[in-house]
Structure 1
Amino acid sequence: MKKVLILLIAAINFGCSLNNSSGRVSFGRLVCEYEESPLLVEEQTPRFGWQLHSTENGFGQTAYELEILDIKGNTVWLSGKIQSDESQHIPYTGKDQLGAGEQYQWRVRIWDNNDKSTSWSEKSFFRIAPDKKQLNALWIGAIKREDSNLPGGRNYHNVPDSSEKGQLWRETDPLSRRSIYLRKSFKAQKRIEDAIIYISGLGHYELSLNGKKIGNDQYNPLWSDYDKTVYYNAYDLTEGVKKGDNTVGVLLGNGFYNEQGGRYKKMQVSFGPPTLFLKISITYTDGTKEEIISDKNWKYSPSPIVFNSMYGGEDYDARLEQPGWDTPGFDDSQWLPVVVDNAPNGELKPQTSTPVREMEYFSIKESMKAGESYVLDMGQNLSGYPAFTVKGKRGDKIRLTVAERINDDGSINQTQSGGPYYYEYTLKGESEETWQPRFSYYGFRYIQVDGAKLSESEDNRDIPVIKAIKSCFVYNSAEPAGSFHSSNEIFNNAHNLIVNAIKSNMQAVFTDCPHREKLGWLEEVHLNGPGLYYN
């Protein structure tokens, strides 16, 4: 009995020794093509990478093994033990090509300096982008380009309204620059194993499913030269699509795809009216598949966004809201059938770069009165827009004008940043209302409020009351590459100024400024390149 007990204790100790050896290291940041769990991998031979974390000095990797599995857990490829200390850009070298549009799992284990292996890492995921045959949806909208009377070409810079070129833009069909809602209802008949959506809404879009916004990105897809490239995005809808009735809704805005001017104008270029490409691929647990695509069977309606321009701002009339428009059971009998348009000239490609998002927020640092207006110092110059909560009567209208500078009398000054640029909001008059722009941004520190008062003010006018307001700092969500801190606050503050300037100009492209031009002149990247690498 003693011998058995001794052997048992020895076995336990030996097992613990192995487990401790494996437990000395943990895996972090499992990436495929530089991203964690990407949904749009273009490469048919994707590359993988991982980070190792160990509490032991001198710990090192001497070999690795990669495994790729299908969504059901079946092994697709096993690399075998590879003698190497490399942990980045490790390519898939299997004989079989990975399936377009298919999702896979992968994991890794490594061997240490003593040739002892770790346990397998947690599984990560990736999905191969669909091929062109699978992207079989149609481009739809409210009006075709050929019916919009849009001027052709790109030679429309600082065009006066009174000029011959200006007259061309005044003669475009108003529907061609109108923000629209689009919706489609569908029924999922069985239990769902996987659901993925591919979408490109030009210029930009906001996507919802069954009344819930999908994703937290801004200005998707990232803008491009639409005659060369058109990007699309992907979202996993597996948890969102339910058995039974579903409705997908899309809100479209103009962006740089359809910059027709209005208020301040830097340039006027249109590749066409707002348009949508969308495909939902559903795989049921029994292996059968179903597709929902944008086609002639969709409907549209004008949205409450009555004006949106990258150079002019955005206006919203809350009285035009249609509660439940993107949910099953909504009465869309008054909506209109969409038209099917030609695809943009550019090649449809997956957006693989990081998206633009709301990254930071700033509240009022100081408020002051300038005549009948309130001017708010938000304490930080940034690119983005204000978001606010207001209460007032139906039909009341407030205007928010943003700027980097103020005049001697305290009012805002846009002379160096391009104006007029502002946001207007018309109240629906139902309790408190919260709003923020969706399709336009500007560089600013100050917000001038006209037609409303602050809740803490002693203003006796019968006008709407701003209950809360903040500045939303909107920039590309790429992770910082480095940081800087010293014992000298002058250096620290100078570095913060530089980093915030970089952030303000990190949009779809690296721009020259976040207001007057917002364009991707190449010298900005050339001159700032070394600094960008380290920040």
Structure 2
Amino acid sequence: MNNGILGKWIAAPETDRGFGSERCDSAPHFRREFEYEEKFEHGRVSISGLGFYELYLNGRKVGDRVLDPAVSDYLKHVRFVTLDITDYLRPGRNTVGVILGNGWYNPNTAEVWNFLTAPWRDCPKFALKLEIDGRTVLESDETWRVGKGPIVFNALRNGEFYDARLEVPGWTGDRFDDSAWPHAVRIAPPGGEPVEQKQPPCRVLGTFPAVPTGKFDVYDTKQNMAGWARITVEGEAGAEVTLRYAERLTPEGDLSAESQDVFVKSGEFQTDRYILKGGGVEIWEPRFTYHGFQFIKATVSGSAAIRKIEARMVGTAFDSVGRITMSEPDLNRLQAMTRWAYRSNYVGIPTDCPHREKNGWTGDAMLAAETGLFNFDPAASYLEWLQILADNQRPSGQLSGIAPSGGWGFNWGSGPAWDSVLLSMPADIYLHTGDDTAIRCFYDAMKRYLDYCESMATDHIVFFGLGDWCHPDREKMCPVEITSTGYYYMDAQLLSEFARILGRPEDEKRYGMLAEAIKKAFNARFLRKNGRYGTGSGIGEFTATGCALYHDLVPGEYKQPAVEFLAEHARRINCACDFGILGAKYIPRVLAEYGHAELALKFFTRHEFPGWAYWIDLGMTTLGENWTGNNSRNHIMFGDLSAWFYRYLGGFRHEWERPGYRHLRVRPFPVIASCIAEYRGYVSDWKVEDGEFVIQLSVPSGCTATLAMPDGSVFELESGRYQRSCRLP
């Protein structure tokens, strides 16, 4: 149902719509002319083109958006965008053109997550309404004409094939004869409610030279990223350029798709093809796919020469709100790697990796959420992704481990340590922005999820889900019932707090009591001697104790022994990363909170395996999926270290009592020589010289800050620039 927002849904005639079919038709080209003779002040168009679309008006592409719109659960919500077209309109005859790609809506190659048989799947379709000065002038309907073009294949996880010989010159302008093109056909809507996309669009965020390595036709961009190649080529008609993408090379210098092409089961993985039309220099880049890569292998069949290859970095066009520079080069390098990994893994939705999967894994999103909020402004994008997760929730309250999901991920790949993003991400948004929209929107879904966890619990302990994933030694991974119950407790606490914020005292009491019951059961089952936590096997006690402290599950008299155990264990193993992705957040944060920030830093700067800086020595430019660097080298799930830098070195803290960034508590830990951190207009610029801590703090207009110094002194500050100093204890 369109509710008057859009026109009719239309598609190309005779399009294959077989459920589970791997057929890929040529990307359809739609066009329609209209006359408008009156003077005008403003024009706009609202369009939903599924899976992806490109819109043209009078021969020009409208805007610079790519891979638009962002994916949704199409059975529940369908995103449309509204674009200003005033500068594209002209008096008299105007021509509108639309190209459609498959994207997430029509997955047409096989993979292990079963998107090929997603319940929403159908052929590409679109609905459009064009208005001038508030009056509807054009809508999508059966009067539109449809033709074929040069995009002969496109698949999100595979690539795009383009035959330039099939280009149709002038089709987006007037005086083009489309009489041989058939009319579009009316088609059923996707099923979901049309909602306007508010998050920033995907765009080309940067262009980088790809340099020939001199071996195997391979080009090096020097940076792991999400995006595609743009080629400049010259040759005879029919010559073909094949582009393959990967993030690693073989020892001999050839392209290596090791650990990347394992889940896509049909078609060519991360491959684009371009067939030349001949007659001069040709420049091309794909439209309806993207890849994860540092290296590009460009091979030529026929008579043609590649003049230039460039890497086009693609992602959601977030504003940047934070920067941090530290006195330690390793920390700066890790910060840069984290920002690149975050951007590579936000192309419309938060993903695990930009190559192998491109899936919206909930655990990865949860662990990186605050890193995103310190560096960028992703709150609107988080909100729309959470809507996908909530739309996909089962009536029982169960959640999938990926969002979107075509039905995969409910019975493996989820669990409280992943599912908790439904509550933790709204909390992060609230603390960083003061906006409670996500809390209000998904409150009922949160309650259903807590009810589901209660139904799965045995004496308030939950045993399902993934645990401390990607531990360097799987045999030593913390038992899942510890980490899952820790997040179950966190969720009950958060829901009680959300009930307080929304003025629901009965829920506040109910979930507060549930949290206390979980805490009591957790300690009865897992608290060991001397403040350690575990199952009694001795396995995973480092992460288990970190989990208990991080979630504030430890009784007061056991906190100091628990912290001492963490510190002693860290020193004993020389700060080797004896944890997976959950412990990678617990341990550094807990150590810093309890006076051992210098120990936490040693995990980050450890160059031996397993350690974050080990990835630097491997030549990686983004973060890894595991400590060895043998699997994906562009994952964000170990990326909370950037939030750690802002929180404990920059000193920026948010408070539940005063959410948002209009007031911050600033408490830097001077465990390095200096730091300059910027966050939403605040600047924390400090250094240590001869045992003295000196900070210059800038507080933006309309904001306040509480500055807590290392010697315990506290200053309440209005907007302005301040300098304070103290001797270090």
TM-score normalised over the length of structure 1: 0.66
Match of 1:494 among 305, 328, 334: 334
- Contact kept, 8 Å, 1:226 with 1:346, in 2: the verdict is yes
Residue 447 (1) aligns with residue 296 (2): yes
More helix by share: 2
The 1:267/1:368 distance shift into structure 2, 3 A limit, reads farther
SS at match of 2:88: coil
> Pairwise mapping of residues 459-498 of structure 1 onto structure 2 (< 5 A)?
463-498=303-338
The 1:320/1:339 distance shift into structure 2, 3 A limit, reads same
Q: CA deviation at 1:263?
A: 9.5
Q: Distance in 2 between matches of 1:226 and 1:509?
A: 14
Q: CA deviation at 1:387?
A: 0.5
* Counterpart position of 1:518: 358
Q: Distance in 2 between matches of 1:266 and 1:342?
A: 23
* Counterpart position of 1:189: 37
The 1:266/1:492 distance shift into structure 2, 3 A limit, reads farther
Residues 71-112 of structure 1 deviation map (CA, whole Å, 9 limit, x = unaligned)? xxxxxxxxxxxxxxxxxxxxxxxxxxxxxxxxxxxxxxxxxx
What is the letter of the counterpart of residue 210 of structure 2?
A: I
Q: Distance in 1 between matches of 2:84 and 2:188?
A: 27
The 1:262/1:359 distance shift into structure 2, 3 A limit, reads same
- Contact kept, 8 Å, 1:378 with 1:446, in 2: the verdict is yes
Q: CA deviation at 1:463?
A: 2.8
* Counterpart position of 1:278: 128
* Counterpart position of 2:180: 334
Match of 2:208 among 316, 341, 362: 362
Q: Distance in 1 between matches of 2:110 and 2:361?
A: 23
* Counterpart position of 2:101: 253
* Counterpart position of 1:138: 8
Residue 400 (1) aligns with residue 268 (2): no
Q: Distance in 2 between matches of 1:533 and 1:272?
A: 35
Q: Distance in 2 between matches of 1:265 and 1:434?
A: 35
* Counterpart position of 1:349: 195
> Pairwise mapping of residues 14-413 of structure 1 onto structure 2 (< 5 A)?
133-143=3-13, 148-151=16-19, 169-170=21-22, 174-175=24-25, 178-261=26-109, 267-269=115-117, 271-283=121-133, 289-370=135-216, 374-413=217-256
Q: CA deviation at 1:421?
A: 2.3
Q: CA deviation at 1:434?
A: 0.6
The 1:390/1:412 distance shift into structure 2, 3 A limit, reads same
What is the letter of the counterpart of residue 298 of structure 1?
A: W
Deviates more, 1:343-352 or 1:480-489: 480-489
The 1:213/1:187 distance shift into structure 2, 3 A limit, reads same
- Contact kept, 8 Å, 2:270 with 2:355, in 1: the verdict is no
- Contact kept, 8 Å, 1:262 with 1:312, in 2: the verdict is no
Q: CA deviation at 1:312?
A: 1.1
What is the letter of the counterpart of residue 399 of structure 1?
A: T
- Contact kept, 8 Å, 1:194 with 1:238, in 2: the verdict is yes
Match of 2:269 among 416, 420, 435: 420
Q: Distance in 2 between matches of 1:141 and 1:390?
A: 33
Q: Distance in 1 between matches of 2:112 and 2:164?
A: 24
Q: CA deviation at 1:143?
A: 3.6
The 1:143/1:336 distance shift into structure 2, 3 A limit, reads closer
Q: CA deviation at 1:438?
A: 0.3
- Contact kept, 8 Å, 1:364 with 1:470, in 2: the verdict is yes
What is the letter of the counterpart of residue 513 of structure 1?
A: C
Q: Distance in 1 between matches of 2:315 and 2:371?
A: 17
SS at match of 1:239: helix
Q: Distance in 1 between matches of 2:248 and 2:113?
A: 20
What is the letter of the counterpart of residue 228 of structure 2?
A: Y
What is the letter of the counterpart of residue 273 of structure 1?
A: C
Q: Distance in 2 between matches of 1:249 and 1:429?
A: 25
Q: Distance in 1 between matches of 2:103 and 2:159?
A: 11
Q: Distance in 2 between matches of 1:403 and 1:378?
A: 11
What is the letter of the counterpart of residue 150 of structure 1?
A: G
What is the letter of the counterpart of residue 304 of structure 2?
A: P
Residues 422-444 of structure 1 deviation map (CA, whole Å, 9 limit, x = unaligned)? 10000000211110010001110
SS at match of 2:269: coil
Q: Distance in 2 between matches of 1:507 and 1:179?
A: 21
Q: Distance in 1 between matches of 2:346 and 2:6?
A: 32
SS at match of 1:525: helix
Q: Distance in 1 between matches of 2:83 and 2:371?
A: 33
Q: Distance in 2 between matches of 1:498 and 1:467?
A: 33
* Counterpart position of 1:527: 367
Q: CA deviation at 1:223?
A: 0.8
Residues 310-333 of structure 1 deviation map (CA, whole Å, 9 limit, x = unaligned)? 111110000000111010111112
Q: CA deviation at 1:464?
A: 1.0
- Contact kept, 8 Å, 1:266 with 1:311, in 2: the verdict is no
What is the letter of the counterpart of residue 510 of structure 1?
A: P
Q: Distance in 1 between matches of 2:207 and 2:360?
A: 25
Q: CA deviation at 1:239?
A: 2.0
* Counterpart position of 1:124: none
- Contact kept, 8 Å, 1:264 with 1:420, in 2: the verdict is no
The 1:352/1:236 distance shift into structure 2, 3 A limit, reads same
Q: Distance in 2 between matches of 1:260 and 1:365?
A: 33
Q: Distance in 2 between matches of 1:308 and 1:437?
A: 9
What is the letter of the counterpart of residue 21 of structure 2?
A: W
- Contact kept, 8 Å, 1:265 with 1:311, in 2: the verdict is no
Deviates more, 1:202-211 or 1:253-262: 253-262
Q: CA deviation at 1:205?
A: 0.5
Residues 466-491 of structure 1 deviation map (CA, whole Å, 9 limit, x = unaligned)? 11211011111111221111222211
Q: CA deviation at 1:149?
A: 4.1
Q: Distance in 1 between matches of 2:112 and 2:195?
A: 32
- Contact kept, 8 Å, 2:17 with 2:123, in 1: the verdict is no
- Contact kept, 8 Å, 1:264 with 1:312, in 2: the verdict is no
Q: Distance in 2 between matches of 1:304 and 1:366?
A: 28
Q: CA deviation at 1:266?
A: 7.2
Instruction: Tell me: higher relative CO, structure 1 or 2? Use CA pairs within 8 A at least 6 residues apart.
Output: 1
Counting matched residue pairs gives 367
Q: Distance in 2 between matches of 1:265 and 1:143?
A: 29
Unaligned runs of at least 5 residues, structure 1: 1-130, 152-167, 453-461
More strand by share: 1
Residues 495-534 of structure 1 deviation map (CA, whole Å, 9 limit, x = unaligned)? 1001100000012110011011111111112111222221
Residues 353-403 of structure 1 deviation map (CA, whole Å, 9 limit, x = unaligned)? 111111012102442222xxx101110100000001100000101101010
The 1:438/1:265 distance shift into structure 2, 3 A limit, reads farther
Q: Distance in 2 between matches of 1:247 and 1:237?
A: 12
* Counterpart position of 1:434: 283
Q: Distance in 1 between matches of 2:83 and 2:228?
A: 25
SS at match of 2:224: strand
Percent sequence identity is 34
RMSD: 2.0
Return structure 1 stretches of 4+ with deviation > 6 angstroms: 262-266
